[in-house]
Amino acid sequence: MLEEAVDPDARWLSAVLHGAFFLLLGSSLARFLIRHSGSAQLPWITALSVVLAVLYVLGPGRDLRPAPRARLPRHTWLCAVVTVWVVLVVLAPSFAWCAVPLFYTGLRTLRPRAAIGLLTLLVILVVVAQLELSGRFDPDLVFAPPAVAAIATGVFIRMERQSARQRRLIDDLIRTRRELAASERREGMLAERQRLSMEIHDTLAQGLSSQQMLLQAAARIWGTDPVKARAHVRTAESIAEHNLTEARRFVHDLAPADLARGGGLDEALRALAVRESGDRLTVRVHIDDGSRSPRLPDRVQSALLRIAQGALANVREHSGATTAALTLTLLDDQAVLDVADDGRGFDAAGPSDTAAGPSDTAAGVRGHGLPAMRARVGQLGGTLTIESAPGEGAVLSAAIPLETPS
């Protein structure tokens, strides 16, 4: 049967029961041969024993290895086995012991009501056979077989029901796991979309915004100060080149282009400061690593660089600052990035979406700046704080915890 093919315990139990059947059949035939060697029924008993053994072997699912197909319909096979066994019991009551493995076979083959009917017939034949063998009335022979059969049937039915409940539970767990996996895939897709949105905002969108401002400034002064206008155009060209590098990086692994060069976060911040510095804004970088120079995880480096890019973009576009400072502090248990500027500042307690200045939304730009920074820090278990006041500049601080070596 199928359960024997997938359940090692069922295969082991079937092997025991099959072996017990042939052992009982052989011992019953040996007993008859020893006690009734000259009986006229001996050829019939021997022939029926052989037929019963052959039927049992030919039965569907009787082999320990799954058969490619059933050689006899299951109910037809069981009916033939029981019929031959009944004839043997009538001719030789000692064959009644073969009923024990037949109990289990009937319970496995038939539905509960039909199986109980078959077991009742088997028990009656066993009791009659045992009374005939003893030659006298014995209460043990009358009540013991029904009691043992009732116990065996109850235990078997309980085990079958418990097994069915376990199968239903396993099916529910498998279904729940599949639903959970599908939900996680959906959440992963949404998180990836959000991440891509932040990546594009922090790189391409901000670069295009800077180019637009530089080209507009160049157009305004082209007639009066062509030298400075050309400088704006060259700066816009440099930003466009960097954005092209970022776009190509998106196609590969979406890592920041500055980090992809392999110089580490400190060099990436310095490259960002050089790129963001110009006539109106000077950006300085300070690295405080305590002479340890720890290697930050790639995700932490990428997040801090993107936060620095977003913060400087807001400083440049909204704060009116002339000086900004990037300070990276590496501690044993966390990495802290501070972005400070000397701009006009703002009320940090009020709604704002910039590091130093009014919100992007107020300026007519879609407000991804500060929410994107908070999302990046939150995904790594860190915190983002902003300190500012009107006329006093602003300080944005991003702290991301690090896994300490055990």
pLDDT digits (tens, 9 = 90+) for 309-343: 888 888 888 888 899 999 999 888 889 999 999 98
344 CB neighbour count, 10 Å cutoff? 18
Which amino acid would we find at residue 66? P
Residues in the chain: 406
pLDDT recorded at residue 366: 36
Distance CA 343, CA 392 (A): 7
The conformation of residue 223, written as its DSSP 8-state character, comes to T
> Is the Cβ–Cβ distance between 108 and 119 less than 8 Å?
no
- The DSSP result for 257-312, as a single string, is HHHHTTS-HHHHHHHHHHHH--SS-EEEEEEE-TT------HHHHHHHHHHHHHHH
Coil vs helix vs strand at 343: coil
At residue 50 the predicted structure's pLDDT band, cuts being 50, 70 and 90, is confident
Q: How far apart are the first and last CA of the chain?
A: 53
Could you report the per-residue pLDDT of 340-350, keeping only the tens digit for each? 999 888 876 65
Per-residue confidence (pLDDT) for residue 66, from 0 to 100: 39
Angle 398-249-269 from CA coordinates, rounded to 5°: 35
Q: Of the given ranges (66-80, 212-226, 378-392), which has the lowest mean pLDDT?
A: 66-80
Rounded to whole angstroms, what are the CA distances from 304 to 114, 247, 296, 335, 401?
73, 19, 10, 9, 12
φ, ψ for residue 323, nearest 5 deg: -135, 140
Contact between 203 and 307 under an 8 Å Cβ cutoff? The reply is no
Give pLDDT tens digits for 65-106: 334 444 457 778 888 888 888 888 888 887 887 777 777 777
pLDDT digits (tens, 9 = 90+) for 100-137: 777 777 777 777 777 778 788 888 888 887 777 777 77
What's the pLDDT score for residue 399? 93
CA atoms of 268 and 217, how far apart (whole Å): 28
Q: What is the largest CA-CA distance in the chain?
A: 136
In the structure, what pLDDT confidence band is assigned to residue 3 with cuts at 50, 70 and 90?
Answer: very low
Three-state SS for 67? coil
- What token pair was written down for 336? 């802290």
Tokens 């972005």 belong to: 339
Instruction: Band the pLDDT of 167: cuts 50, 70, 90.
Output: confident
Q: Are 92 and 52 in contact (CB under 8 A)?
A: no
pLDDT at 261 over 50: yes
Report how far residue 55's alpha carbon sits from residue 52's, in angstroms, rounded to the nearest whole number.
Answer: 5
Using the predicted structure, report yes or no on whether residue 384 has a pLDDT greater than 90: yes
Residue 286 in tokens = 């300070």
Average pLDDT in the chain: 77
> What value, to the nearest 5°, has the Cα angle with vertex 32 and ends 30 and 38?
115
What's the pLDDT score for residue 32? 80
- Which tens digit of pLDDT belongs to each residue from 280-295? 889 999 988 766 556 7
Percentage above 90 pLDDT, the chain: 9
